[in-house]
Every structure is written in C-alpha cells, then in structure tokens.
Amino acid sequence: MTSSITSDVIHRFAEDAGFDLVGVCSATEPFAGLNFYRSWLARGNHAGMNYLVQHAELKANLDSVLPGVRSAIVVGANYAQPNPPTPGMPRIARYALGRDYHRVMRKRLAQVAKELSSLMPNARFRACVDSAPVFERELASRAGLGWFGKSTMLINSHRGSWFLIGVLLTDADLPPDRPSEGGCGTCQSCIDACPTGAIVQMEDRWSVDARKCISYWTIEDPAGRPPELRTAEWNFGCDICQEVCPFNSPREHQPLRARDTVDQDFLPRGPEPSLATIRNFTEGQWDAWTRGRAIRRAGFAGWRRNVTAPDETRP
C-alpha cells in the first residue's frame, strides 16, 4: 500500500510519543548481516541462547513477522545517566535502572501506530522491541539512527550509543530516510577495556562472544559467571564498552552527545536496596522489588547468585 504520509509527519508522531531518534527504511531489502549472523551462530558465540538459532531463518524475512511488510519505522530512546559504582550497592546496567524498556517502548510505538492509523486506516502495524525475530540494529542503521561500532553497539555520531531501539513494521510504503555513515577508525577503547575479552574479531568485523560476556553471565546464563569472576562490580548487565566510548563523551561542539535523559521511565524509581539487603531478600521481597523492571529477567535464583561473592558460597 502506497502512502502519501511525509517524513516530517512520521518524525513528529514519534517525537510526540517520547522518542529521541526516528528514521524510516525499506523492509523488503535483503539483510546484509544475515550471513555474518549465521557464521556467528555456527561458532557458538550465542552461548546458551538457543532461541537465537531458532530465530535465524525468521530474521531473514520480515514477512514472518508481518505478512506484506513494506517499511520499518525505527526509533531510539535515550537512557544516558550517571551510574557510578558505589560500595555496598548493586551495579546495574543503565538501561535496567528504570521501568522495563520493553513495556515502555511498546506502549510508545502503539501510540505512533494509532496516530498513523488515523491517516492510513487500511495500514497494518507490528511493534517489535527486542523479542521479535528482527535485525533491529541493521534496520536502525538503514533508517539513519547510527552505525555499527567495534563494540557491536549502534553509535549515533551526535548522540553516542546510550539509546534503546524499537521498530514499527508496516505494510505501507513510507518515504525512507538516509542510512547512517560513520566508523570507529583506529579507536579500540571498548576492546581494550572489556575485562573478559568478549569483543572479538570475526571475519572482517568485530562481534561479541557471549560465552565471555558479563551481560550474558549475569542475565541469561543459568550457571552464572565463573566463580573466579563473580565479583560485586556488575550484578546485572554491563556498561563498560559504552562507558569508555569517545562518542559517549560530551563535546562542546556537539552538545547532544551523552546528554543525560530526563525521561522518568528510564530513571531509577527510588534508592536501590543495598547488596546486603538483596542477599537476604525472600522471593516475595525480590518479586516486589523487580516488578515492572527489566532486572526481573535474571530470576530470583539468578539474582541471589549475582550478588553472592565467591567466598560466601564456600562451605
């Protein structure tokens, strides 16, 4: 279905819904990263995330997500904020400090879809946030939101990498934006800073080996990180590769870079309990603390494991 909706209208609807970045791209072109993704899986870099294998062929064709899809509206929400380590307190990746971003982004994408539906009543939409079999970052790069850094994070030359990505697929033909351009050059700060060497070169680009990644160990891996690396530094996720990235450092000539968010959905709801308190949580207390937050993903047993130092597990 061909639409007469302009790019300005799409951008306005997305910005009104609370998104900081927005772009549009075709959803019918082959994915340039598909073969690389297959190689990444073949090497076992997905660790225990077997659902990624199951999604591999679905990702190749967006018709599996929305039959007849023609365009993708891709949005970004800034979650940059101070998050210094504090002795005795949990260390949580910035994206998980506030409300569960899946819920926040889906609700906002639904608002965009509703606004567009008022102008295109016959169009169909499907919101995708992280869990659908979609190459979000490639679509975001095509739509002009950013380019792939060596850390594999999507980097916007003016805003850095502290933004969450959401995708709104539609069967309407919408005017595309220009793809992103950029690169890291000779910088390899993220590679040097990763304490476990999880950022590895594969073929002609860089990738993350989940088997070495702190985020994987603290969120997805039932066994958790190896005991010798089970410290209190990161209890859920990890931000090290983004913290050292020069594109996340404020610059006088680029005032938007690394600007802290004022979005209440992504800011902490209140003071976090101490590590000592979390270690003694009952499952009911943990349930109340994690309700509506992304940190719930680790599960009660996983959180207990993540906040327990190696010497506390010895008989």
Q: Which residues are catalytic?
A: 130
The alpha carbon of 273 is separated from its chain's Cα centroid by a whole number of angstroms, namely 25
Q: How many residues does the chain have?
A: 315
Closest CA to 300 of 312, 288, 309: 288
CA angle 144, 168, 209 (to 5 degrees): 65
Residue 243: its H or E element: helix 240-243
Side-chain-side CA neighbours of residue 288 (13 Å): 6
Distances (CA, A) of 138 to 19, 71, 112, 144, 181: 19, 13, 21, 10, 12
The CA distance from 10 to 12, in Å, is 5
Q: Which residues contact 97 (CB under 8 A, 6 or more apart)?
A: 79, 81, 83, 266, 267, 268
Please report where in the chains the tokens 């008022």 appear, as a residue. 118
Q: What is the DSSP letter of 290?
A: H
Closest CA to 286 of 313, 307, 267, 268: 307
Q: How far apart are the first and last CA of the chain?
A: 66
Contacts 24+ apart (CB under 8 A), 51-55: 55/133
